[in-house]
Amino acid sequence: MMNPIGMQGGPDSMKHHFLRLARLLVAGLVAAAGAVACSSTTTAPPAGPAACDPTQCAPKNECIPDAAGVAACRIGCLTHADCPFNTQCLTSAPRNYCVKQNLPVEQKPSGQWGYPCLPSGGRDNNPACSAETGFACYAAGTTDALAYCTQYDCTVDLDCAGGFYCGTINTAPNAKTDKRTIGSTRSVCLKHSYCSPCAGDIDCPVVDGQQMRCTTDNAGGRYCSNPCTSTTNCRLDAACNGVADDGSKVCKPRAGACTGDGTICAPCRSDADCPSGACIKAGYSPERFCSVKSTSPCTAPDDPKTSSFVKGSCPAFTAVKGVTLGCQGRAGDDNIPKDQCIGFIEFGDSGDIACYTLHP
């Protein structure tokens, strides 16, 4: 018997039929909507990144563009101290902003970036440093009063905290020994100081109440230096003839740069900068310069005035005023390996191991 709407079956059959019709109707409506969305008459959304909406930024964030001009919610900063832990302040135009470090660590109340440590406690597992979060004691020697906790074996500056850079140092001297290594180097996160590389003034420290400036050397590299009014304000291996970005005077290395090409007397920071020799510390100034291995053993006295081998065993050298070359003839010197050609500055009746240091 047919039901009133011309269908066989009872109420359950009718209910099933109505549900099926409803599903078909919904599917038809969705398909129609999809056809409209894909229609060639619809305007496509504009290409490129969406504009930054400052109302959607988290507290303390604002819309700041990166170097490519792409704005995003970021924390603006004037110094590294303005940024949260595990981030650092990136020098950028028109506004500096905080960026995440590559190797975040769990924050501890002490024993991390720059925390003082005693060299007597050793380099690794120093009791003052948070070894569980990867920190060790960096010291320039066993009596370094400025030793501090940091991380070793970095690869780029973003592996370090703000105010630090990834530098290369000689493996020794260190907290355990004052005897230097020759040719063995290691990377470590170092505090910025004079001649350290920088991107902007925020990378350079405040020394004696004066903000160090990030300036440019003769090779186009950027380095930290202190403001000056005369050369007497500068180290012995520098002169007050550098120019900061704002036109003010800063100290500039007499060598023209903080690192060179590795040739004889080229400035250096570690043995890694001197592939044919070693990075030598001057006798009476903080200057560091490259030695070059002599082509024959040094047999004459160390005094360059009496050394007959200077021209024959050492490479050609464009003379700097007051500088001559000599050859280290004795073994056992902690600073200078045997048979290395080195620079001497003459003053009075004597001389000093140096290449650009100006003596009074």
71 pLDDT more than 50: yes
Instruction: Check residues 336 and 321 and name the one with the higher pLDDT.
Output: 336
Can you say how many angstroms the Cα of residue 179 is from the centroid of all Cα atoms in its chain? 27
- Per-residue pLDDT tens over the stretch 170-205: 999 999 999 999 999 999 999 999 999 999 999 999
Token pair of 75 as six digits: 């924390």
258 pLDDT more than 70: yes
Q: What was the pLDDT predicted at 144?
A: 97
**Sequence letter at residue 324:** T
Rounded to an integer, the average pLDDT of 250-269 is 94
Q: What was the pLDDT predicted at 315?
A: 76
10 pLDDT more than 70: no
pTM for this entry: 0.80
3-state helix, strand, coil in the chain (%, to 5): 15, 25, 60
- Per-residue pLDDT tens over the stretch 237-250: 999 999 998 999 99
151: left (phi over 0), alpha (psi -120 to 50) or beta: beta
Q: What was the pLDDT predicted at 284?
A: 84
What is the number of residues in the chain? 360
117 pLDDT more than 90: yes
Q: What was the pLDDT predicted at 31?
A: 41
User: Cα-Cα-Cα-Cα dihedral of 147, 149, 153, 159, to 10°?
Assistant: -120
- Per-residue pLDDT tens over the stretch 287-303: 999 999 888 777 655 55
34 pLDDT more than 50: no
Q: What was the pLDDT predicted at 176?
A: 95
